[in-house]
Amino acid sequence: MHIDTIAVQALRGHEHGAVVPPIHLASTFELDPADNSGAYDYQRGANPTRAALETVLAALDGARFGFAFASGMAATSAVFSRLTAGDEVILPAGVYGGTYRFVDKFFEARGLHARFVPDLGTLTDADFTERTALVFVETPANPTLRITDLRRIADLAHAHGAIVAVDNTFMSPVLQTPLALGADIVVQSATKYLAGHSDLLGGTVTTDDEEIAASLALAQKALGGVLSPFDSYRLIQDIKTLPLRLERQQANAVALAEHLRDHEAIGRVLVPGSHDAHEAAVHASQASGPGAVLSFELGEGIDRIAFLRALRIPVYAVSLGSVETLVCHPATMTHEAMTPAARAAAGISDELLRLSVGIENLQDLREDLDQALAAARRPRTAAEATAEIPVHV
């Protein structure tokens, strides 16, 4: 079935034929005194509503196993909990700021090693050692939209006994299914496109590997960062409209990227594949669209603060993937945990803005960006004005 059908029908006949599955709020369940057996025992270990959601998550990614966590970082942390002292992880320099913070603050104390690479596309056999256990990938990267060839990375990592985890938050399973491209683990912040309404915090992990699945189930039970039954119920409903929402968001984003690219007040616009022709070809081969996030820099003479304050529709806030358009300043928001040197290595300039495009009317969005750019044009100083007066000799 196509994913827009799966999103709606994944739980068909799941429980008593209910079209909408019920919420099971019980924190504990009755067991058989003879052997303590039962389908469920304690909510942290498993819950019928969360199990229903995890069935949907696995179906969306074409996976055997799905897991729901309390946040995207709880999901990422569960993946990292598989690692043992001495293991090395290779990550892109432009990885999400929350992931960077976890690596920066917790890896050393756990005896783990991290290697940040400016471009995962340059990895070769020589970059792997016997302690390389995991390659963590974002494609498109956040917020530079750089692209990584997942098939190539998977083949390379597997040849050296390492596994590949992909943060697929920007694409969602609607546009990209990393497991089908060779990845071992897929992570998403469900807060973003899966939920899509800026009112739910969650994270997901899917895999086809039984041993990895067992470690994730253990992480849920031992670390406790699980999604609540109520939020699991709500996420099941939100996912049903995911393909429709993303279709509108992507159409708006493509049009706005083209509009901004031609605007005299804009310096550069970043979208998946904009770095070079090779990355464009790779993205086209592994994803079915560019998604709905773009980044851009304001041109010379445009005041960033004035521009952001003049916007009437985009909300200046962290996060992405919501029905409302959101704009943020990565250097001081999503990636503030990075040092200036780390941001520079990742290609995140102090002037870069990230726009997560929503489902609003395209004309309204375009006109609002235009008026904000006009309002933010910095007045020329007397010296600048004089410098522009032609000198006749």
pLDDT in tens, 146-188: 999 999 999 999 999 999 999 999 999 999 999 999 999 999 9
Q: Which of 87-96, 168-177, 237-246, 378-387 has the lowest mean pLDDT?
A: 378-387
Q: What dotted CATH number matches 242-375? A: 3.90.1150.10
Confidence of residue 19 (pLDDT cuts 50, 70, 90): confident
Q: Comparing C-alpha atoms, which of 52, 46, 45 is closest to residue 19?
A: 52
Q: How far is residue 7's CA from residue 167's CA, in Å, rounded to a whole number?
A: 20
Is 192 noted as a catalytic residue in this protein?
Answer: yes
For residue 290, give the DSSP letter: -
Mean model confidence pLDDT for the chain: 93
Percent of the chain past pLDDT 90, that is, above it, reads 85
Confidence of residue 266 (pLDDT cuts 50, 70, 90): very high
Out of 50, 192, 245, 354, pick the active-site residue. 192
Contact at 8 Å (CB) between 131 and 113?
Answer: yes
CA-to-CA separations, 39 to 32, 46, 51, in angstroms, rounded: 10, 9, 11
Q: What dotted CATH number matches 3-239? A: 3.40.640.10
Out of 167, 184, 231, 238, pick the active-site residue. 167
Domain boundaries, given as residue ranges, for the chain: 3-239, 242-375
Confidence of residue 391 (pLDDT cuts 50, 70, 90): very low
Q: How far is residue 340's CA from residue 142's CA, in Å, rounded to a whole number?
A: 16
- 289 SS3 class: coil
Across residues 340-344, what is the average pLDDT?
A: 88
Out of 50, 82, 87, 96, pick the active-site residue. 96
pLDDT digits (tens, 9 = 90+) for 78-123: 999 999 999 999 999 989 999 999 999 999 999 999 999 999 999 9
> What pLDDT score does 383 carry?
52
Whether the pLDDT of residue 213 is over 90: the answer is: yes
Q: Which of 33-47, 127-141, 152-166, 298-312 has the lowest mean pLDDT?
A: 33-47
Whether the pLDDT of residue 296 is over 90: the answer is: yes
pTM: 0.92
Confidence of residue 336 (pLDDT cuts 50, 70, 90): confident
> What pLDDT score does 385 carry?
41
Across residues 126-141, what is the average pLDDT?
A: 97
Out of 4, 41, 44, 303, pick the active-site residue. 44
* pLDDT higher at 250 or 341: 250
Contact at 8 Å (CB) between 57 and 206?
Answer: yes
> What pLDDT score does 21 carry?
86
Is 167 noted as a catalytic residue in this protein?
Answer: yes
Tokens matching residue 8:
């709606």
Contact at 8 Å (CB) between 185 and 207?
Answer: yes
Whether the pLDDT of residue 387 is over 70: the answer is: no
CB atoms within 10 A of CB 194: 27
Confidence of residue 260 (pLDDT cuts 50, 70, 90): very high
Contact at 8 Å (CB) between 80 and 126?
Answer: no
Q: Comparing C-alpha atoms, which of 383, 368, 375 is closest to residue 303?
A: 375
Q: How far is residue 245's CA from residue 34's CA, in Å, rounded to a whole number?
A: 50
Q: How far is residue 24's CA from residue 5's CA, in Å, rounded to a whole number?
A: 25
Q: How far is residue 67's CA from residue 307's CA, in Å, rounded to a whole number?
A: 41
Contact at 8 Å (CB) between 203 and 187?
Answer: yes
DSSP labels for 30-55? --BTTTTB-S--BTTT--HHHHHHHH
Whether the pLDDT of residue 229 is over 50: the answer is: yes
